[in-house]
Amino acid sequence: MTAPPPAHPTRLAFLGTPELAAPFLIALVEAGHEIALVITGEDRRRGRREEPSPSPVKAAANDLGLPVAHDMGTLVDCGADLGVVVAFGALIPTRILDVLPMVNVHFSSLPRWRGPAPVEWAVRSGDTTTGVCVIAVGEDFDIGGIHARTEVQIGPRETAVGLRNRLVDAGVELLVATLAAGLEAPVPQVGEPTWAEKLTVSDRELDWGLTAVALDRLVRAGGAWTLVHGRRLKVLAAEPSADGPDGPPGLLVDDRVATGDGWLRLVEVQAQDRSRQPFATWWVGARIEPGVHLGR
């Protein structure tokens, strides 16, 4: 049985690793919270030739003069009243939760889109709203009761990158306000849970037999790609088109591709070992013959 969180914690531990988690740590310090310890991922190489470097959260903690560790076991004796988890990406052992209760900031309206990729799945699925929740940390991912939540509208042309940035801003405000007001008893999640599995490279391949609307959502979710003569071409920006080539799915005419229903206009792409560029610029340099078929 995990310990209940204190209503007004005085010392916090912070657990997070990627760039999106750093603003939360900074905001907690600026709000006057004492940070007893920061737990984050190990230093690693960010590029093939680079030396190992700290995670964005560790870099922020170093700038703030905060103690940092990589072993969750050090939380037991850190003297914190509450742990705050943001994009840490690992289950917290029960033996630690028994000593140090924790809350987690999750970027969805739970129980919809539990899991590691809620923003991408919200965009890919065509959701019109999502949210941020501050939840109790339990023995499995994203199952805890909800202390606080806020709703965020998703724009019709919004990308996962843009939506994530807005959710971070909303989440920082929600977390700081929730801790300032005091943690009330969490409310159980209500509704049918859905799982947001991390998208793999194969998940992001454009299947031209799908509708133009579905393919556009996948592009806006990020990382979409297709094949041109067996070489991978990333599609960074696209939009459904009212007109386009009359032909089988995958047929490319000018900047438009035939799909299972409608046409997708390619706006920005990135070829292998090249920088991102407008589709028209790539087309001229690639010297692709008319009537080429994209995909497999």
pLDDT in tens, 235-280: 999 999 988 778 899 999 989 999 999 999 999 999 988 899 999 9
pLDDT of 4: 73
pLDDT of 49: 66
- Write down the number of H helices and E strands in the chain: 7, 13
17 contacts: CB under 8 Å, gap ≥ 6: 40, 41, 55, 56, 57, 87, 88, 89
**Residue 32 amino acid letter:** G
pLDDT of 273: 81
**What is the value of pTM for the model shown?**
0.93
Mark the ranges of the chain whose per-residue pLDDT is less than 50: none
Give me the CATH topology for the region 11-181. Answer: Rossmann fold (3.40.50)
* CB-CB neighbours of 259 under 10 Å: 27
Ranges in the chain annotated CATH 3.10.25.10: 202-286
Whether residue 6 is preceded by a cis peptide bond, meaning omega within 30 degrees of 0, is no
Ranges in the chain annotated CATH 3.40.50.170: 11-181
Query: How far, in Å, CA of 211 to CA of 198, rounded?
Result: 22
pLDDT of 68: 98
* Contact (Cβ atoms closer than 8 angstroms) between residue 161 and residue 120: no
Query: How far, in Å, CA of 54 to CA of 64, rounded?
Result: 14
- Give 3-state DSSP helix, strand, coil % of the chain, rounded to 5: 25, 25, 45
Query: What is the assigned CATH class of domain 202-286?
Result: alpha beta
Question: Where in 203-262 does DSSP place strands (E)?
Answer: 225-228, 231-241, 252-253, 256-258
pLDDT in tens, 92-116: 999 999 999 999 999 999 999 999 9
